[in-house]
Amino acid sequence: MAADQAGEKTQDATPHRREQAREKGQVAYSQDLGSAALLIVGVMLLRYRGGHIFETAGSFMRYQLSTVESLSPDSTDAIALSQKMVGTIGMSLLPVLGFLVLAGVVSSVFQTGFLFVPSRLMPDFQRLSPASGLKRIVSLSGAVKLGFGMFKVAIVSIVAATVLYLRHEEIIYASSLAASELGVMMIDITLSTALWIGIALFTLAILDFAYQKWKHEQDMKMTQQEVRDEMKDLQGDPQVIARRRAVQRQMALNRMSDQVPQADVIVTNPTELAIAIQYVPEEMAAPVVVAKGAGVVAQKIRRLALENNIPVVERKPLAQSLYKEVEVGHPIPDESYAAVAEVLAYVYQLKGKKMPNAA
Distance between CA 240 and CA 255 in Å, rounded?
A: 23
Confidence of residue 3 (pLDDT cuts 50, 70, 90): very low
- pLDDT tens for residues 124-152? 555 555 665 566 556 666 777 788 888 88
What is the β-pairing status of strands 312-314 and 265-268? parallel
The Cα 192–Cα 101 span in angstroms is 22
Checking 216-220 for CB contacts under 8 A at 24+ apart, the result is 216/26, 216/27, 216/28, 217/12, 217/13, 217/28, 218/9, 220/12, 220/13, 220/17, 220/18, 220/21
**How many whole angstroms separate alpha carbon 69 and alpha carbon 223?**
79
Per-residue CA distances from 115 to 17, 112, 120, 209, 211 (Å): 16, 7, 11, 17, 21
> What pLDDT sits at residue 2?
44
* Strands laid side by side in the 312-314 sheet: 288-294, 273-278, 265-268, 312-314
Q: Do 191 and 278 have their domain in common?
A: no
Structural domain range at position 163: 23-111+129-221
Q: Same structural domain for residues 136 and 249?
A: no
Last residue of a domain, one of 190, 221, 252: 221
State the pLDDT confidence band at 71, using cuts at 50, 70 and 90.
low
The residue with greater pLDDT, 160 or 233, is 160
Please check whether residue 14 lies inside any domain of the structure.
Answer: no
Residue 209 in any domain: the answer is: yes
Last residue of a domain, one of 221, 252, 268: 221
Tell whether the model's pLDDT for residue 200 goes beyond 70: yes
Residues 188 and 254 in one domain: no
pLDDT over 70 at 189, yes or no: yes
Residue 349 to residues 246, 278, 344, 356: CA-CA distances in angstroms? 40, 16, 8, 11
Q: Do 197 and 264 reside in the same domain of the chain?
A: no
- pLDDT tops 80 at residue 117: no
Is 203 in the same domain as 273? no
**Half-sphere exposure (Cβ direction) of 195: Cα atoms closer than 13 Å:** 13
Highest mean pLDDT among 13-17, 116-120, 355-359: 13-17
Is residue 7 included in any domain, yes or no? Answer: no
Length of the chain: 359
Q: Are residues 73 and 146 in the same domain?
A: yes
Cβ neighbours of residue 40 closer than 8 Å, sequence gap 6 or more? 195, 198, 199, 202
Please report the pLDDT score of residue 161 as a whole number. 93
Same-domain pairing of 171 and 272? no
In a domain, 37, yes or no: yes
Check pLDDT > 70 for residue 118: no
| pLDDT at residue 129, rounded to an integer | 59
Same domain flag for 258 and 210: no
Final residue before a domain boundary, out of 221, 252, 277: 221
pLDDT for 50 beyond 80: no
Helix 15-23 vs helix 179-220: crossing angle, to nearest 10: 130
179 and 78, same structural domain? Answer: yes
Peptide bond into 287 cis (omega under 30): no
Query: Which amino acid belongs to residue 160?
Result: A
292-309: b or e for each residue (b if 16 or more CB lie within 10 Å)? bbbeebbebbbebbeeee
Sign of the CA dihedral running 124, 128, 131, 132 = positive
Residue 107 lies in a domain: yes
The answer to whether position 214 is within a domain reads yes
Based on the domain organization, do 184 and 267 belong to the same domain?
no
The residue among 349, 247, 268 whose CA lies nearest residue 312 is 268
Domain count, the chain: 2
The β-bridge partners of 276 are 266, 291
| Percent of the chain whose predicted confidence (pLDDT) is above 90 | 5
Q: Is residue 123 one of the residues assigned to a domain?
A: no
Tell me whether residue 192 is exposed, middle or buried, using C-beta atoms within 10 angstroms of its C-beta: 0 to 12, 13 to 18, 19 or more.
middle
Task: Specify whether the CB–CB gap between 207 and 185 falls below 8 A.
Answer: no
Indicate whether 89 pLDDT > 90: no
Please give the mean pLDDT across all residues of the chain: 79
> CATH number of the domain that 333 lies in?
3.40.1690.10
| DSSP-assigned states of every residue in 80-128 | HHHHHHHHHHHHHHHHHHHHHHHHHHHHHHHHH-S---GGGGS--GGGG
Closest to 343 in 3D by CA, of 332, 327, 330: 332
Q: Are residues 31 and 103 in the same domain?
A: yes
Is pTM, for the whole model, over 0.85? no
Res 358 pLDDT > 60: no
215 plus 345 within the same structural domain: no
Does some domain include residue 122? no
* Average confidence (pLDDT) over 17-35: 82
Higher pLDDT: 247 or 170? It is 170
Rounded Cα–Cα distance for residues 285 and 270 (Å): 28
Nearest to 23 by CA among 90, 117, 94, 145: 117
